[in-house]
Amino acid sequence: MTRVRLYRIETCPYCDRAEALLQRRGVGEQLDIIRIDDSRKGFAEMARLTGQRTVPQVFIGDRHIGGFDDLVELDMDGELKELLEAVRTP
């Protein structure tokens, strides 16, 4: 089953918004939250996979979506719904 990964820190309003948007779009239990503020390993993994050092960073399956603005853009274009269909379909 496809998973959604959200790399985030606790005190990030954009991380909160990204998580809330994903929850509103029905990701639910398929959402893996990786807290990098208390994990050097998690931060190193995120930086290696994305080439970015900022949060949030979102993956749907193996596809790197990007940050909050990228997630919202996909949602506004209707593409997020299509990508998340794979998450909800076993």
Question: In angstroms, what CA-CA distances link 9 with 29, 72, 83?
Answer: 19, 19, 24
70, 44 Cβ separation under 8 angstroms: no
* 84: three-class secondary structure by DSSP: helix
pLDDT of residue 1: 61
User: In the chain, what are the domains?
Assistant: 4-88 (3.40.30.10)
Among the listed residues 61, 67, 68, the one whose alpha carbon sits nearest the alpha carbon of residue 82: 61
E strand or H helix at 88: helix 79-88
Per-residue model confidence as pLDDT tens for the chain (90 residues): 679 999 999 999 999 999 999 999 999 889 999 999 988 899 999 999 999 999 999 999 999 999 999 999 999 999 999 999 877 766
